[in-house]
Amino acid sequence: MRSRPAPPRCLFLLLLPFLFFSSSAAHPQWILQRVPVVLPQNTEDRPAPHFIAPARLDVSSPCDPECHKRAPRQSYWDLRNLLAYETLHSNGRLTETAIGIYGYNPTSNTSPAYSSGSSGKAGRSHVRRKRQIFGHDGRFSIAGQNFLLKYPFSVAVKLSTGCSGTLVGDRHVLTAAHCVHDGKNYVKGAQKLRVGFLKLKHRDIQASFFHLPSNFTNHIEGGPALYAPPMNDKMKFQWIRAKRTHVPKGWIKGNANDIGMDYDYALLELKKPHKRRHMKLGVSPPAQRLPGQRVHFSGFDNDRPGQLVYRFCRAGEETSDLLYQHCDAQPGASGSGVYARMWDGRRRRWERKVIGVFSGHQWVERQGASQEFNVAVRITPLKYAQICYWIKGNFLDCREG
């Protein structure tokens, strides 16, 4: 029996706006909450790293959602140790900073509800499959300056170690910790880490013949819109060196097979401002409160060299620190900022916020059946307070997330 040919790519792009949850009616809103204060206390020098570890473009773990949910709740002192952090400076100097936590409410660091799922014990680790695509490949390669240089796609950047990242400040990039540190050592290239921004290769390229509505990307995530084909402009990366890299000790003390995956995030401070619009941080809401229960992220998957790849999918199970989903992704996409778009009642406008960091892939056995997940690290109130302080340097600007 002959199989049906796959629908043309343009058809998926034409249907793309209609696949999204029409959020204008339900008005899913960002709910601002008071977050704890995470302040640095004392900083000490550490021995300089050797940068001998090979860069890892993804992580894998046999610990499934139930495994993570059964992990004991961390005490106040545990959290202080996990949220302590190392800072790698561009001159090779390494420092470790102890932190204090103030105004912490243990119940604020957990999700009010978990998505239902079968329980079961994770099996032993298997060799990870090379592909991380679930069924039909639902990724979209973004092309043309009208897309690539337009928010929100313009906040996606590439790391010189091969991962992706997201602009979250005038000179700050959020990414995955495993992109710069393997849990034991800093990876090759971490000392001279660079961040790549897509830009036009030739300044004299004319504007695209096709007109894009000014709010086109809003329609993509919010409702119907006319599709305008992009022009395949020639793009290249412009690189900026990282000045400092912050990595939480929760990642360095642990590893991807246990609690360490909960802390697979890092923040890079660039040597100069990037002069682009950045995306705000947000405390990760329960998946059931997301518009259409969907998440979005864009990154530089290594099977599509030089291309920015966008995807969206329905969020699945969640723990207090991790969000499980089946967004199609390949190595290279890790470190991408997972975001949602909801209504900001205070400012009376729609707002996109980064609510997590795409980490990697999990292959587990549950009740004798194999299951696969792609995992993102959720931005909890404590993580929000820490990352925000790294960006702002002032806890007064980080009290609401």
| Residues forming the active site | 178, 258, 334
Of 333, 338, 337, 357, nearest in space to 294 by CA: 338
Of 351, 378, 323, 374, nearest in space to 221 by CA: 351
For 152, 302, 338, the CA distances from 13, given in Å and listed in that order, are: 17, 22, 21
Q: How many other CB atoms sit within 10 Å of the CB of residue 356? A: 29
Query: Which tokens belong to 66?
Result: 């139930």
Tell me the sheet residues that pair with 95. Answer: 45, 87
Tell me the sheet residues that pair with 270. Answer: 242
Pair 318, 287: CB distance under 8 Å: yes
**Helices and strands: H and E segment counts in the chain:** 8, 18
CA–CA separation, 229 vs 393, rounded Å? Answer: 42
Q: Tell me the pairing of strands 60-61 and 349-366.
A: parallel
Q: Over the range 251-289, which residues count as b (16 or more CB within 10 Å of their CB) and which as e?
A: bbebbbbebbbbbbbbbbbbeeebeeebbebbbbbbbeb
Phi, psi angles (nearest 5°) of residue 155: -85, -10
CA–CA separation, 171 vs 270, rounded Å? Answer: 5
Task: Please state the separation of Cα 41 from the chain's center in Å.
Answer: 28
CA–CA separation, 363 vs 361, rounded Å? Answer: 7
